[in-house]
Chains A and B, each alone.
Chain A
Amino acid sequence: GAGVSQSPRYKVAKRGQDVALRCDPISGHVSLFWYQQALGQGPEFLTYFQNEAQLDKSGLPSDRFFAERPEGSVSTLKIQRTQQEDSAVYLCASSLERGQVEKLFFGSGTQLSVL
């Protein structure tokens, strides 16, 4: 595709509901990152994949957050039992090669609102 695609663009969830956010990276991009951006803040790292391997998940805020990339392309970020503090924009980014973070391409993000 032309760029990193994220869906849905907006998601409203009731507290306690499970949500799944999708990221389609640029075709052939090896590295994939998820970031969480709260209102008025910069993006904060959640997790990183190299192909299908999740190499770093140190930024996931709790065990309610889970990410996968089973075939090394599309990735899904799942949040179980959503809480109001989960409300944020969730950004996905990809880069062509391992360690090439200076050439990260970002998606438009999914804005999650938990009521």
Chain B
Amino acid sequence: DGGITQSPKYLFRKEGQNVTLSCEQNLNHDAMYWYRQDPGQGLRLIYYSQIVNDFQKGDIAEGYSVSREKKESFPLTVTSAQKNPTAFYLCASSIWGDNEQFFGPGTRLTVL
């Protein structure tokens, strides 16, 4: 079955540690996206990638980094520079140029 997966579902980290969230898709989509969701604020775009080895900053990229070494994978690293990292993180993918995005189940990150 085609789809998009994120792991882990729940993640706990101590303040000051970097953490990497996984996102994998087997839909053969060129474009992938990372969003952050906070209560009452909808989704905010962190980074997106149109093609392998290329990615662009979204609205709230500070304190985050990404890589796109394979078409199927778009991991997000939450660095210690991110001031308020506790949130729900959603990964999505789409055919490039088409904004019908398919979402993963999300990862809830809690920084203690």
Do A and B share a complex?
A: no
